[in-house]
Amino acid sequence: MAQMTMIQAITDAMRTELKNDENVLVFGEDVGQNGGVFRATEGLQDEFGEERVFDTPLAESGIGGISIGLSLTGFRPVPEIQFFGFVYETMDAISGQMARYRYRSGNTRSMPITVRSPFGGGVHTPELHADSLEGLMAQQPGLKVVIPSNPYDAKGLLIQSIRDNDPVIFLEHMKLYRSFREEVPEEEYTIELGKAEIKREGTDVTLVAYGAMVHSCLKAAEELEKDGVSAEVIDLRTVSPVDYETILASVEKTNRAVVVQEAQKQAGIASNVVSEIQEKAILHLEAPVLRVSAPDTVYAFTQAEEVWLPNHNDIVEKVNKVVNF
């Protein structure tokens, strides 16, 4: 076991898979000699050579296109989109193409691609770096969307994503890259996609979250505990498909739920979770399911992040509403 930050765990996962499978290729803007703008691919080109880990021209759509072409020749591409705000440039390659290839070829072609990309607020990035656009991806049949919240999950989920024979969008929250370390096994291990994890057990209310909001929920849960409210915190880990089984079991126990996301209220995936709960567990509910999310504006200008991004206070407030409904 080693103490790793999330970014180190991510590098470790790629190193593991580059070693395991000669078809794995890592590429993108500045991922080669430079080791990535966040050092996620540091040392990988030196270790595996330019044939396996390489820089590309600055064009996201082209990166998506070559990922598809490399898959058609039997490779397992792990491309990087430098910031997920740039996904618009490659929406066709992802949603219009790779997500649909297995289906459009009648199951004769597959796209074992893992698109890695950083996102997320709280680190004062310039425009279109921090936007939460997982909702766009979650709406596309054919994709899986994974968002880890800690180093241990990041490694296990990334190895599993790379081994998956269908396209996976792997979104890495920038604020979590180096915010804490935890024990991460040095050997390989995997975490099944589409499986949530209960991060904290509770009896009064279910908090469903992913990404940085998992930590805000845990902080809120601690405060709520002082007021005698016991919150169960679920980390989705995969936002498409969502592990509704775990959520529903929790809601049946607590009878109350709040879904928490960093994305705007009209975006993200919280509405999906609310719908599923009301379809499948309405008779277990003591109160409506509420959402914590950002306002429906364009992502905040840097200096407005603090007042705009949802935080643990917003969560406590919503939980109190649900508990006192």
Q: Which residues lie near other proteins (CB under 8 A)?
A: 51, 56-57, 59, 61-62, 64-75, 92-93, 96-97, 101-110, 141-142, 144, 164-166, 194, 240-245
Residues paired with residue 198 on neighbouring β-strands, in sequence order: 234
> Of 124, 129, 215, 284, which is the active-site residue?
129
Between 193 and 289, CB nearer to other proteins: 193
Between 216 and 240, CB nearer to other proteins: 240
Determine the Cα–Cα distance for residues 152 and 322; give it in Å rounded to an integer: 32
- For this structure, is 129 an active site residue? yes
Shortest distance, position 177 Cβ to other proteins, whole Å: 28
Shortest distance, position 319 Cβ to other proteins, whole Å: 27
End-to-end distance of the chain based on CA atoms, in angstroms? 46
What does the DSSP 8-state code read for residue 289?
P
Determine the Cα–Cα distance for residues 200 and 207; give it in Å rounded to an integer: 10
Between 28 and 121, CB nearer to other proteins: 28
Helix (H) or strand (E) holding 25: strand 24-28
Determine the Cα–Cα distance for residues 312 and 110; give it in Å rounded to an integer: 41
Between 192 and 227, CB nearer to other proteins: 192
Strand order in the sheet with 197-200: 197-200, 231-235, 205-209, 257-264, 290-294
Contact in structure between 310 and 262 (CB atoms under 8 Å)? yes
Q: Which residues have a catalytic role annotated?
A: 129
